[in-house]
Structure formats: structure tokens, C-alpha cells
A = this chain, B = another copy of it.
Amino acid sequence: MFPFEHIISIDKKSNITLYNQIAFCIINAIQNGTLKAGTPLPGSRKLAKILNVHRKTVITAYEELNAQDWITIIPKKQACVSEHIPILQPQKWNSLKSSISYDNNFNLPLKITNKHIDETKTENIPDIIIDDGHPDVRLSPIDELLKTYRSYTSKRHTIKNAHLGTEQGTLKLREEMVQYLSETRGLNISADNILITHGAQMSIYLTSRLLLDSHTNIIVGKPGYPVANKAFEKTGSNLTEVTVDEHGIDTDAIEVLCKKKKITAVYVIPHHHYPTTVTLSVDRRIKLLELSKQYNFAIIEDDYDYDYHYTSSPYLPLASGNHEGNVIYIGSFSKILDPSLRIGFMVAPKNFIVQCTSLRKVIDVGGDGYMQNALASLIKGGELKRHLKKAKKTYQQRRDFLDNLLKEKLAPYISYTLPTGGMAIWIKLNANLSVEKLISNPKLKVLRIDKKQNAFRFGFASMDEKELEQTIDFLQSEFKK
């Protein structure tokens, strides 16, 4: 008999169930060739004795291995390693030995290429990650959401419901959002005006593909949101940057441009401009809408940060103002719950939404209907509103806590303006320090830096007070070097 006590090591204190530990060890031994096809396994009674576990544990392990095809159990006889172990179980259709399939490069010409790609290195998780304004998923009602999700995957009716209309978003979620957007943003719309996407970026991508090509001009803020700008650039459109000062994008400069050339669209982030966090002022909002009518351009209103405004209520969206339909309003639940939860939305006239939906279907068919319906329940039950109220309070506290820490520990090194809302502070380093040098430390990852401005975004919402302190202490020690 094979010395099983040497290949199976179990740890009774581990979180992994005993039977799984046993099964894993046997799979490992099969995979690395220690246990060959056909090798008999000891009877459950015997192995239980060897390993000093209950016999039922061994039986469960064997059943698991059998279910996964690693072993064969002959009833009332013995268990053996499968004759056809799962590795390379499929039928070969070519008698030639497979070449090493993907050693070669793809060698046909590509129609789109991006020469400056920052390849993401994800090999090591840095100790400290400063994101650019993520919510704290630990505060989000994810348990509630997933509980509802699970319940929807078990009943014929709710399954049907989740599979219908996912290219535009389930009707249940869109109807819930009509009410929600009316209450929170004064938007007077119907479910036909809404498209559910995988987040704000997909709304931006769809809009840009519909509106822009190489014969068009679009105005964006400077500094701006690079991922949105890339979507605009990919259409071949000509981007013109307009300065964003402490009141938001400079609408006078937009007017000057409109007089010079045909502008197709203006991209604005009215609540807490990315990356500098300023809010678009009232008079500029009014001016922008007027210009849009006068010069007939579309406003792409990316209002991802609407829900987190601390010093006052947020401003109603441009989309809820006096316009003639050419405002495309973009928002996201990823910023409310978690960036990994890919649910965003866009609001526009029905004819625009119809075309967007048609394009979206070609891109990826549709979204996760269960998640959308679970989110609809969360909105209907009031949990989302309650969460927003709680999160807003917490994030404001964290902003103020960070403000104090910055003053106390980093004052000699940096400058910043405390934002009136949002989840990040835009921090400029003093001239004698370099943001490039800062991020060269492998222990630190900063999601959004600006080399020209020698600045970075400090997303504070995702960190609790202890984590904020650790991060600031780390930065202090870096700056002192």
C-alpha cells in the first residue's frame, strides 16, 4: 500500500474543512504524478485510522473526489485513482503533438493600437494603496444586496425577470430609478429615458461612439479625467481643453471656442471635478445651459459624485434644468457601493437611449439582471437612502479627520484646498518634493497622480481613521527622507 500518511497532511485548526484538506492533498498527488492512474486508495476505515479522523470525513472526501472525476468508486469494493484522470481528458482531434500554443506573438496588423500602455503589475499587493476616491465597501449594504440576489436565483419567476431586458437594464430597476432620481435629483423622466450600464465609463464610451467622430470637436476640462478623454480620443474627435478653476470649467472660454468652431459636445463633472474636486458654480451652470442652446452642443454631465456633498445640499443636475433634450446625464452606483459592483446609468431622451441600447447589446449583450433587481429592492426598501445618509456622515468625518492629520503632520510638504464634497482631496507637493519619486516606492500605490502639477488624489472615503493615520505616517516618513 502506498504511504498515504506522507502525502496527506491535515491541520485540524485550519479553516478549511478536513474532508477538503484530504481531497486537496490527494488531487495534488495525482496532479504531480505521485499517484498514478489506477492506483487503489485505502478503504475509508483504514485511512481514517491512519489520519486519526472520523471515517465519515474520509467518505466525504472520497465522494468529493469522485464527483470531480479524480477517483472512481466501485460500490462495496475499492476506490482507485481514475483511469482517465481529468488532465487532458478531452478528445484529441489532431494526432500531432500540440505546439506550445501561445508562445508566438499575434502577427496580423491591428486596426487600433495604443502605444503607451501602462501594463498593470499586480504581482505584489503594496502595503498602502491610495485610491482616487473609492467608497468603503465595509459600510455598504452588500449583505442585504447579496441575500436578495441569492433569493432571486432560486425561483422560476424571478429568474425569468432577471433575464428580460438586460441590454437596457431590467424594467424593475429602471422603474425604481425613475422614482429615486426624481426624489434625489428632481429629474422628471420615465423608464424609457434610462439605460443601465457597467458604470459611468461605459456611459461615456457609448455616448462618445454615438456623438463623435474625426469631424467633431469636444471640449473637456483641464486638468481632466484621462479615462474619459481616452474614450473621446478613440473616436478620432478633436479634444479641446478648457481650464477648470476654483468655480469649475471656464464657461467664458467655452463661449469663445463656440464662436470659432462647431462644438459637438462639452464634457463636465459638475460635482467635484476630477481630479481637482471643485464644484461647478451656479452662474456657470446657467451659462453652460444657455450656450448649449445657442450653439447647439450636447452636454455630457458626469455627476458621479452627486451624493456626497457636505457643506450644503448638492446642486440639482444640469439635466433637471431648463434644456431641450441635449443633456446626457451620467451616474454610477459603483461610487455609492463599491467600484467592483459594476452598475451605472445614463439618462437621456428616449431616441438617444434606444440607439445606445442597440450599441450596448453588441458590446456585451447586457448586465447582471439579478444584481440589478436586488439593487432595485434595496432602493425600494429604503436601504440605499439610509446607507447614503450614514456613509455621507462617515465620509465627512473622515475628510475632517484627514484634514487635521494633514495639517498636523504634512503641513511642511504639501498644499491643498479642502473639498466641499466627494471622496478625495487633491494634494499638491511642494516644489522640493517629487510625486514621481514618491510612487517609486514599491510599498505604495497611488491610483491617480499628475506629474505636471506634482499632485495626487488622496481618496479618504475607503479608509477608517486608523488606516488614514497609517497612511499619513507612511507619507511623512517618505517626505522626511
Contact = CB atoms under 8 A, between A and B. Distances in A.
Interface in A212-252: 212-213, 216, 227, 230-231, 234-235
A104 B328 CA distance: 12
Contacts of A324: 104, 107
**How many copies altogether?**
2
A114 B231 contact: no
Contacts of A165: 120, 122
Interface string A154-169: 1011011111111110
B183 A362 contact: no
Given A98-B186, A197-B364, A385-B68, A90 B313 contact: yes
Interface stretch (A52-60, A138-146, A398-406, A427-435): A138-146
B114 A359 contact: yes
B93 A358 contact: no
A415 to B, nearest CB: 28
A307 to B, nearest CB: 10
A106 B382 contact: no
Interface in A166-181: 166-168, 170-171
Contact of A106 (B111, B131, B326): B326
Given A90-B186, A90-B313, 9 more contacts: A27-B382, A67-B389, A91-B314, A101-B321, A102-B350, A105-B325, A106-B349, A339-B365, A342-B368
Contacts of A187: 101-102
Given A101-B319, A340-B369, A125 B27 contact: no
Interface stretch (A73-81, A202-210, A473-481): A202-210
Contact of A209 (B112, B321, B338): B112
Interface residues of A, number: 149
Given A138-B154, A264-B108, A386 B67 contact: yes
B68 A110 contact: no
Main secondary structure of the interface of A (DSSP, over half): loop
A94 B359 contact: no
A352 B98 contact: no
A64 B385 CA distance: 10
A107 B165 CA distance: 26
Interface string A363-385: 11111111100000000011001
A107 B386 contact: no
A327 B98 CA distance: 14
Closest 5 CB pairs of A and B: A104-B325, A122-B165, A106-B352, A202-B364, A198-B364
A354 B389 contact: no
Contacts of A467: 156
Given A167-B120, A189-B101, A150 B143 contact: yes
B212 A325 contact: no
